[in-house]
């Protein structure tokens, strides 16, 4: 399943009327499929949309401001995807597992958007309250599951416990995704050192792998939380 873009960003299409700012963001994302970000200029994006280069400056003062808008779009779609495709189960362990699987699937189904999220940094001078809120929205989805996990097991939902849990779960999802995306798990699986399901080649093995890793992670989180509680 590929990225679904609006009609204004389909290959060969040109902007006619409506929201030019949105069309420019769509065009930038589309162009990333074939051209590296460092080679994309505002002039190139304007050409893709079919408007004069000067029209771009009515919405973005420079390329970096456009990149910020692009990343915000990608982050919003990412957060929405996690919310829609994860399991809103009563058990927090199931919620954590399903969020990890949703993270993994998003990286495959929306590869261009995922690359923008992980590779496009926003300079400090461009960070606003809106940027911070949008950047943390996906983390909030995970943090709510961690809070529920603490409550379920009688552990104080402290800033440390919630932060550690979110950090660990995010690291698990990103780590598994990165290993599979770059085939760094392949040699270990094919050599027999790792179980074959860790190749993550289908829905079943993805489910099995994330279930096992979630069990390990949750056990470790609870152990650490209890240790700090007793110290």
Residue 32 in this model has a pLDDT that exceeds 90: no
At 122, is the secondary structure helix, strand, or coil? Answer: coil
Please report, for the chain, how many H helices and E strands are present, in that order.
10, 0
C-beta separation of 32 from 116 below 8 A: yes
Residue 4 in this model has a pLDDT that exceeds 90: no
Q: Taking each helix axis as running N to C, give the angle between helix 111-119 and helix 63-85, from 0 to 180 degrees, rounded to the nearest 10.
A: 120
Q: Rounded to whole angstroms, how far apart are CA atoms 182 and 178?
A: 6
Q: Determine the average pLDDT of the residues in 15-43.
A: 84
Which CATH number is correct for 71-230, 1.10.357.10, 1.10.240.10, 3.90.1300.10, 3.30.70.260?
1.10.357.10
Helix-, strand-, coil-residue percentages of the chain, each rounded to 5: 70, 0, 30
pLDDT in tens, 176-217: 999 999 999 999 999 999 999 999 999 999 999 999 999 999
pLDDT in tens, 52-109: 989 999 999 999 999 999 999 999 999 999 999 887 777 999 999 999 999 999 999 9
* Token pair 């162009």 in the structure block, residue: 31
pLDDT in tens, 127-151: 999 999 999 999 998 999 999 999 9
Q: Which residues make Cβ contacts (< 8 Å) with residue 203, sequence separation at least 6?
A: none
Residue 7 vs residue 182, higher pLDDT: 182
pLDDT, position 170: 95
Domain residue limits, the chain: 1-60, 71-230
Q: What is the chain's mean pLDDT, rounded?
A: 88
pLDDT, position 67: 94
Residue 15 in this model has a pLDDT that exceeds 90: no
Nearest Cα neighbor of 96 from 216, 225, 229, 194 is 216
Q: Rounded to whole angstroms, how far apart are CA atoms 46 and 63?
A: 11
Alpha helices (H) along the chain: 20-31, 42-49, 53-56, 63-85, 92-109, 111-119, 129-152, 159-181, 186-190, 203-230
Which class would CATH give 1-60?
Answer: mainly alpha
């Amino acid at each position: 399943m590929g990225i679904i873009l609006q009609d204004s960003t389909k290959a060969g299409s040109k902007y006619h009327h409506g929201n030019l700012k949105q069309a420019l963001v769509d065009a930038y994302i589309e162009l990333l499929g074939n051209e590296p970000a460092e080679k994309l200029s505002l002039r190139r994006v304007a050409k893709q949309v079919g408007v004069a280069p000067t029209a771009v400056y009515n919405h973005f003062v420079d390329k970096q401001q456009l990149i910020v808008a692009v990343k915000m779009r990608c982050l919003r779609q990412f957060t929405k995807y996690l919310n829609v495709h994860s399991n809103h189960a009563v058990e927090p362990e199931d919620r954590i597992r399903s969020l990890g699987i949703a993270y993994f699937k998003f990286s495959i189904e929306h590869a261009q958007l995922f690359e923008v999220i992980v590779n496009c940094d926003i300079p400090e001078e461009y960070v606003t309250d809106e940027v911070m809120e949008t950047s943390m929205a996906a983390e909030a989805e995970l943090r709510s599951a961690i809070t529920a996990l603490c409550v379920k097991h009688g552990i104080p939902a402290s800033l440390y416990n919630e932060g550690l849990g979110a950090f660990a779960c995010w690291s698990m999802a990103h780590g598994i995704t990165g290993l599979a995306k770059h085939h760094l798990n392949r040699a270990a699986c094919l050599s027999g050192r790792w179980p074959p399901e860790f190749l993550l080649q289908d829905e079943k093995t993805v489910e099995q792998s994330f279930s096992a890793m979630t069990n390990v992670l949750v056990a470790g989180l609870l152990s650490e939380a209890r240790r700090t509680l007793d110290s």
